[in-house]
Every structure is written in C-alpha cells, then in structure tokens.
C-alpha cells in the first residue's frame, strides 16, 4: 500500500517497484478496498490511508511491526 501511495497511485510504477505483475497488484488493491471500505480512486480516501500509515510509522518503533 505504501508503495502505491508513494508512487502517486501509478499502477505500472508500483508493479515495477514491487516486481509483480499488474494483475496481481490490482487484486491486492481490490482486497485492500474491500477490507477498509475505502475507494482508492478517491483522493480523500487515499489521503486517509497515507496518513494512517505515517501515523503508524511514528507510533511503532522501527523494526517492531508486532502491533500491525
């Protein structure tokens, strides 16, 4: 998710960075939308996710992802 958001929502760029096929990326993004109830085509919803990830980075010490 972080890679997608930091790639400004670019599917080709995100798939390239993650070294996965675009179809796999679309599947993963659909799963995220279903779980969160957010629409990744909506800028406000993407902002909510991005802010949530940033807040998580601040609250959870580096290397300690047990709270995730």
The string of DSSP letters for 41-60 reads TSHHHHHHHHHHHHHHHHHS
**Is domain 2-59 in CATH 3.20.20.10, yes or no?**
no
Torsion angle in degrees (nearest 10) through CA of 4, 42, 26, 48: 50
Per residue in 24-66, pLDDT tens? 999 999 999 999 999 999 999 999 999 999 999 999 977 766 6
What pLDDT score was predicted for residue 61?
Answer: 79
pTM of whole model > 0.75? yes
Specify the pLDDT at position 49.
Answer: 95
SS3 37: coil
Alpha helices by DSSP H, the chain: 2-6, 11-18, 22-36, 43-59
pLDDT bucket at 13, cuts 50 / 70 / 90: very high
């Amino acid at each position: 998710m972080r890679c997608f958001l930091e790639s400004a929502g670019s599917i080709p760029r995100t798939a390239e960075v993650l070294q996965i096929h675009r179809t796999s990326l679309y599947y993963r993004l659909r799963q995220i939308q279903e779980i969160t109830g957010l629409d990744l085509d909506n800028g406000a919803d993407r902002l909510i996710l991005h802010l949530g990830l940033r807040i998580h980075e601040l609250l959870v010490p580096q290397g300690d992802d047990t709270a995730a």
